[in-house]
Each structure stands twice: as structure tokens, then as C-alpha cells.
Amino acid sequence: MKFTSAFSLLAYAIKYGTAQAQAAEEGTCGTCLPLPPASKSFQTLRIYNITDPNWTAEQAIEESAKTTGPQLAKMSGFQRYTAATTGDSGLVLYMNQFASKEQAQAAHDDMVNNVGKWSNANNDKLEVFASAVTEGYAAFPQDSCFTESQVGKTLTSGLYKYQDPASVDINEQYTLEQDWYNELYSQIPGFIMSYVSTNAPAGDDKSVWKILESAADEEAYQALKTEKGYEWTGPANDKVITTIGTIKLDVLCTDSTTDDAADVSPPAPAPADDSTTADANPGGTTVSTQAPAPIPSSGSFASISASIVAVVAAVVML
């Protein structure tokens, strides 16, 4: 597995410190990243308020890259771990995908409940703003084989609450998402992939995200949607939050990334505050663009293995 982050020290430390573990565990999900509906994929989404005025999203992600990332990648059923900025300097986004609901729920519960094995420097600096565990039911393009990290690309995301989750028919939703891809996403030159998940009808959460080459491609998508007059016709849902930011950390389970060199770039400056973000959902009903008060919970992450700690220390001393 390749750990790709925007931090050269961490990229080196993680690659070196996990080499032996990779030999036994690489390729656990095959050559291509598993995509729903062909493969089972369960997502955990966590968006945190950054409560320390001296802490940034980039710092939070850097801390996670050297602690949480290696731990998550060793968990059974691991598929992907992604962290990104959000367009709001007071928030940071994390999401994972696993092969089963139980695996995803276990990782999610441990982190939001600050289980000791995930502890790191983020613990007293982050509070959960929104979180959800959902099952992927659509990802596009279906015929693509994703093997590479998408660090540096633009991520748009949206978390929504269905008004009537009992009315949600997944087969109908898949057809709507496929039409949306065919008529809109596929027409954007910089479109890379999209992923939609929900826990309806048992729950009321819907999560949707897409990866683009740049923020300009999101502008092109919004313009095309307006030009074609597209409106979402699925079950009504209310927006919890939408984001648009840059992927800073992206860990995949695919075996074809094992020996690749990690992307290396200096940490970007913290983005300016901006509570108004692009609509990442095909047609969610907007309730508010202002983030509500945080849910009282500590951010929680994994402790790094002794081998990686030793490598980090050695590199720092150089």
C-alpha cells in the first residue's frame, strides 16, 4: 500500500517504517480499488471542528498521516483512508471505506469515542461536527480501475439527512445517480470519480463525494448543471454540510501502488474561512450554510508503531 501525503518527512517515514508489514498485507483488495455496487464498500465519514486557534487542517492531517493512517491500513477489510481540507479553515474532513459494515463501524466508534489506541496530538484540538457510517451503492465511472492516490486533487463532499428514509429505494437511487453521471459528471474533463452511500432506510444519512482535477472543474460542473436545468428528483433530503477542498492524504489498499514513490509537496497554507461551499450533492435541499455548534466529542486517532516512531526520530535528527 502506498501512503501518499503532502508531507515529505511523513511519506518517507511511513514508507520505510511499514515496509515489512506491506510484504504480508499488500494487495488485500486486489489490483483495483473495490467499488460499489460490484463490491461491498462501507464508509465512515467524520468532519471535525478545529477548536485550537493555533492548529490547522494541514497540521491535523499531518498528525493523522503518521499515526492513524498506518493503523487503519492494517485493519481487516481496509479499502481507503482519505483526508482533505473543506474550504473552511475551522473544519477538517476524514473518510474511510471498509469491506463490511462491522469493520467500518468498529473503526468509526473507536475514533469518535477517543479509544486510546487512536490517541495523538489531535485529541484536544478537534471535536466531531458531523459523522456517519453508510453503505456505498454507486460509484462512477464503473469501468475504471483506481490504483493511485489522489493527493492534490479537489474533493467535494456533502452529507444530507433524508426527510423520509423509509421511502428510499436503493435501486431507484442507483438509476438516478447513473443518469447524473452520464449527463453531467462524464461531461466534465477533470472529473475523476464519484461515490454515493447511505444507511437508509434504517438510518437517514446520505453521503456523496466526487474527486476532480481542480476547483475549476467544480465550477464547470455547476455551470453545466445550471445550463441543462438539472434538479435532483430523488427523495427529499436536508443538507447537513457541503465542502470543497484539497485532498492531503489518500491511502489505498491496491497492490499496484506498493512500490510507487510517494507524492511529495510542501504543506499548503490554511484555507480562508468560507461557510458557503459548492453543492456537492445532486440536488440536496439546503437548510443552512452555517455550521451548527459542535457535537461534544474529542477527535481520536491511532498511535504510531514503534518502527515508524524510530524512523521519524532518525529523519528529524538528520
Summarised one tens digit per residue, pLDDT across range 3-48 is 444 443 344 333 333 333 343 344 568 889 999 999 999 999 999 9
Give how many domains the chain has, as a whole number.
Answer: 1
Average pLDDT over residues 82-95: 97
Across the chain, what does the average pLDDT equal? Answer: 77
Give the pLDDT of residue 213.
98
Whole-Å CA distances, 214 to 132, 154, 190 = 26, 5, 7
**CATH code at 276?**
3.30.70.100
Query: Exposure pattern of 201-226 as b/e (b: 16+ CB <10 Å)?
Result: eebbbbbbbbbbbebebbebbeeebe
**Residue labelled with grid coordinates 473552511:** 88
Question: In sequence order, what DSSP letters do the residues of 251-274 get, joined into one string?
Answer: EE--GGGTTSPPP--PPPPPPPP-
Helix (H, G, I), strand (E, B) or coil at 136: strand
Peptide bond into 201 cis (omega under 30): yes
What's the pLDDT band for 117 if we cut at 50, 70, 90?
A: low
Q: Cβ atoms within 10 A of the Cβ of 66, count?
A: 26
Residue 274 pLDDT > 80: no
Question: Binning pLDDT at 50, 70 and 90, where does residue 115 land?
Answer: low
User: In which band, very low, low, confident or very high, does the pLDDT at 116 lie, cut at 50, 70 and 90?
Assistant: low
Residue 259 confidence class, pLDDT cut points 50, 70, 90: very low
CB contact at 8 A, 47 and 245: no
Q: What is the reported pLDDT for 74? A: 87
pLDDT at 223 over 90: yes
Among the listed ranges 6-20, 95-109, 182-196, 248-262, which one has the minimum average pLDDT value? 6-20
Strands 237-252 and 191-198: unpaired
Region of poorest pLDDT, from 75-84, 118-127, 253-262 = 253-262
Predicted confidence (pLDDT) at residue 160 exceeds the cutoff of 70: yes
Q: Which residue shows C-alpha cell 437517514?
A: 204
Look up residue 298 and give its DSSP letter.
B
State how far the alpha carbon of 34 is from the alpha carbons of 45, 144, 259, 301, in Å. Answer: 18, 10, 20, 25
Phi-psi sector, 87: left (phi>0), alpha (psi -120 to 50), beta: left
State how far the Cα of 241 lies from the Cα of 47, in Å rounded to an integer. 9
- Residue 112 pLDDT exceeds 80: no
pLDDT tens string 136-155: 999 999 989 999 999 999 99
pLDDT of residue 242 exceeding 70: yes
Q: Give pLDDT, residue 93.
A: 98
Q: Which domain holds residue 154?
A: 3-317
What's the CA gap between 156 and 136, in Å, rounded?
16
Cis peptide before 296 (omega within 30 of 0): no
Q: Is the pLDDT of residue 211 over 60?
A: yes
Which pLDDT score is estimated for 113? 72
Confidence grade of residue 81 (pLDDT, cut at 50, 70, 90): very high
